[in-house]
Amino acid sequence: MDISSNYPILLWIKSLPPGEFVRSTWWAFPTLQSLHFCGMAMLIGIVGVLDLRTLGLARSVPIRPLHRLLPLAWVGFGLNLFTGLMFFMHDPFVYAFNRSFRWKLLFILLAGVNALWFELGVFTNLDRWQGKVETSSLAKVISAISLALWIAVICGGRYIAFTNSAAPTP
């Protein structure tokens, strides 16, 4: 008996047209990888600079204009969500049982909760942070956690290719 028959939802996901497109088109997977990298660069580039500024680096840079770049970080996140779903549909058996993939998803979830905490709890005092004003200790802790989580997301993503799945692929 084939192990894949134990996971009908994964078989169904794999049979969807987007996954078939990625598997059957020679340029789709490398294009998705490039787009995934660009999305990550947008997301981490903006969030990373904002976190580093909050931690005290480049205090002369006003934080308000950096904060206005966050919608572009969301575009990067959306691009990564789309390409990530395409990767998963390409072969869900590669990802569903992969420890690194699962850790990556957990770190993304935690980074989202952390970002929400930052936006609702810390950025209410945004106008006070202009110039050389020191950010709050809470803001620094949240920013340090953010940097650590996004680095963990990147590492988790890289390790997917080097981590064996817990279940064989069909």
For 108-148, the pLDDT digits (tens) are 999 999 999 888 877 766 666 666 567 788 889 999 999 99
What single DSSP character describes residue 61? S
The H or E element containing residue 109 is helix 99-117
Share of the chain above pLDDT 70, in %: 88
Average pLDDT over residues 77-91: 97
Residue 167: the pLDDT is 61
CA dihedral sign of residues 14, 18, 20, 25: negative
CA distances from 49 to 52, 53, 55, 57, 101 (A): 5, 6, 10, 9, 26
Question: Phi then psi for 164, rounded to 5 degrees?
Answer: -75, 145
Which tens digits make up the pLDDT trace of 16-74?
Answer: 999 999 999 999 999 999 999 999 999 999 999 999 998 988 888 888 888 889 999 99
What average pLDDT does the chain have? 89
Q: Minimal CA–CA distance to 93: which of 6, 151, 152?
A: 6
Q: Which residue has the tokens 């939802």?
A: 9
Confidence of residue 1 (pLDDT cuts 50, 70, 90): very low
Q: What does the domain layout of the chain look like in residue ranges? A: 3-162
Single pTM value for the model = 0.88
